[in-house]
Structure 1
């Protein structure tokens, strides 16, 4: 184990890697902490090799991959991290945690998802699937909601990833909560063009993009498909794992098989964004929605719903924010507006990039470290 020193923070999270939402947040926080002269201990299952080998980083690995369910893996991680922190917590100036990841009280708790709010949603998995899988999801959500409530109250400061999340934490004193949106890689996600034939996408037609988990109804792809029917010329590229997804079949049933292009799970999303004209994301429940900010950074106009946390960032200059996730005609109108107006898309795309430039990963990490330093004063 590496020697402990002053200015030492501990971060408790499952992953610290670039290719994961919360993992990327913590990756950037660690980078900024090192730049400010901190030593960082990370309790995690997976850590980027660059950080794990850094002289100022001590990785305490918590292995849970051999356990069969996410609920069990999370429970084991919580138990092992709690036991370790009880023995070593006095060595740290500050402990930063995510949600109910550990039973040990964190000084700063970063909230990316509020399970109690998700449990109340009519689109929760348990309300859509009246079977064993639905029961498991209900139990998973309820247990996390219970543990989160305790963790949020014990923290000195709580970071909400959006104003939507802050509203969902209304049981806490508002002065305890600070909103820090996620960041975006402005170099990876940047405006430009890519040849569509790489993904067998049609040229010379307006092309919208949807990115998200399409195995359940939460991201609301079915609304997009129904709204697409009257638009005639508009095509849609869909990025998301099609295994066990009902939506390829639905697209065929709706007569859209020639206009909806399922690309499967992809890692080249930044390139795909540069091959499309605008982004549509009417998710029914989304605490933030990093993909919205990535689309904006790519210079794409955005159509989204006010129930998406990242809608905070979408002004009328760069996109269209709808009020109802079930209003198909309103979405059809929005799709038609952007599909038929190149000049509007161009103006909105430039405005979207300008807004996104205010939310680099480094800027986000600086906000976190500023709060850490304020908390430890």
Structure 2
């Protein structure tokens, strides 16, 4: 059985690009070398040797048309590569297994965005992807619910599989190492540090966190890692881009996210695996994956509830009886091992291969997509 993976790029990016890289490494460990379809490849990465690279160029097209062109060209590229089962980690309408790490309709609903023509194009492509896939892997219960409610998918077609995390990287460190890390990040002994990893501060909820801190006398510092943050509140402290995020998790006392829309939120799982509890809005997908003892939750968008939760966090910190290694034990409600996740995906691939003949022909795919493709407008 020949496996293919489709993603925007083979690189150390975020989101589904990172997920695709996890799949590549775990498949290599199991002796599987997939065909990898992407817009670009970082040939310096060790993972490049683990795949059959198949580049689909899109750079000459306007940005809003690139997803559609890639999806259309992929149909032929996968035939040439003789792929039996394709795992789609980006918006493509010819994958047997579609990975859902977020939906465009869900994003627009959560953020109150008024649909533009380009949004309608993206949604149309998503709908084709999910309708034509044999199986749709939802990365959270929230995504499953959006697929049923917003895309009218039959639940029997959906498999909820929380995304994997590298346990060798994200694990508690020794107390002495943690003390050194706090010095490195300039965290004072009397500070209760809330780590806020973010490259999109509005979407991740920094304005809500700032509002919750106003008028509150708590010994907390919000350490922003990622994109630079500017705030009049001295308790909002920018610590720069942190490449080894596991070190920041270990140095902090809590990790906080107040996202308006977060289909899963690996940050929460990674932090809990490092033994650092999380403060999360209840709209974040990973809430279902983290055990109660490792998280504090507040109502999404509710500044008063977040403020009350910050008070609870301070009380919890002052009365805590367990060290990070103890908190990390059973902090997750699922097996987050990459090898286990890939084994399940390969099992799914084996089951859907038998149904490959039931899929529409390439001619039917092309005909059915001509009318709604922006490439023809």
TM-score by length of 2: 0.82
2:75 to 82, 104, 123: 82
In the other structure, the counterpart of 1:366 is 343
1:201 to 177, 183, 187: 187
CA distance in 2, matches of 1:79, 1:280: 40
Deviation at 1:165, TM superposition (A): 0.1
In the other structure, the counterpart of 1:176 is 157
CA distance in 2, matches of 1:344, 1:18: 39
More displaced, 348-357 or 295-304?
348-357
Deviation at 1:68, TM superposition (A): 6.5
CA distance in 1, matches of 2:90, 2:319: 40
CA distance in 1, matches of 2:19, 2:87: 12
Listed as ranges, the gaps of 5+ residues in structure 1 are 1-6, 128-134
CA distance in 1, matches of 2:57, 2:90: 19
In the other structure, the counterpart of 1:3 is none
Asked whether the equivalents of residues 199 and 263 of structure 1 are also in contact (C-alpha less than 8 Å), the reply is yes
CA distance in 1, matches of 2:227, 2:10: 23
Query: What are the superposed Cα offsets for residues 150-208 of structure 1, whole Å, 9 maximum, x if unpaired?
Result: 11000111100001000000011111100111111222222231433323333331111
SS state of the match for residue 42, structure 1? strand
Supply the RMSD in Å over aligned alpha carbons: 2.5
Aligned residues: 341
Deviation at 1:139, TM superposition (A): 4.0
Query: Do structure 1's residue 52 and structure 2's residue 48 form an aligned pair?
Result: yes
In the other structure, the counterpart of 2:89 is 98
Deviation at 1:360, TM superposition (A): 2.1
Q: Per the alignment, do residues 235 and 35 of structure 1 end up closer, same or farther by CA in structure 2, a change over 3 Å counting?
A: closer
In the other structure, the counterpart of 2:213 is 228
CA distance in 1, matches of 2:249, 2:155: 37
Q: Per the alignment, do residues 206 and 51 of structure 1 end up closer, same or farther by CA in structure 2, a change over 3 Å counting?
A: closer
CA distance in 1, matches of 2:244, 2:99: 28
In the other structure, the counterpart of 1:158 is 136
In the other structure, the counterpart of 2:21 is 27
In the other structure, the counterpart of 2:359 is none
In the other structure, the counterpart of 1:312 is 288
SS state of the match for residue 330, structure 2? helix
2:36 to 37, 42, 48: 42
Q: Per the alignment, do residues 76 and 195 of structure 1 end up closer, same or farther by CA in structure 2, a change over 3 Å counting?
A: same
Deviation at 1:293, TM superposition (A): 0.8
Deviation at 1:99, TM superposition (A): 4.6
CA distance in 1, matches of 2:296, 2:34: 41
CA distance in 2, matches of 1:68, 1:187: 41
More displaced, 356-365 or 178-187?
356-365
In the other structure, the counterpart of 2:226 is 240
Query: Do structure 1's residue 185 and structure 2's residue 166 form an aligned pair?
Result: yes
Query: Do structure 1's residue 9 and structure 2's residue 3 form an aligned pair?
Result: yes
Q: Per the alignment, do residues 262 and 311 of structure 1 end up closer, same or farther by CA in structure 2, a change over 3 Å counting?
A: same
Listed as ranges, the gaps of 5+ residues in structure 2 are 355-377
Asked whether the equivalents of residues 26 and 338 of structure 2 are also in contact (C-alpha less than 8 Å), the reply is no
Within a 5 Å distance, the mapping from 1:230-309 to structure 2 comes to 230-242=216-228, 248=230, 251-252=231-232, 256-257=233-234, 259-309=235-285
Deviation at 1:314, TM superposition (A): 2.4
SS state of the match for residue 59, structure 1? strand
CA distance in 2, matches of 1:303, 1:319: 6
More displaced, 305-314 or 162-171?
305-314
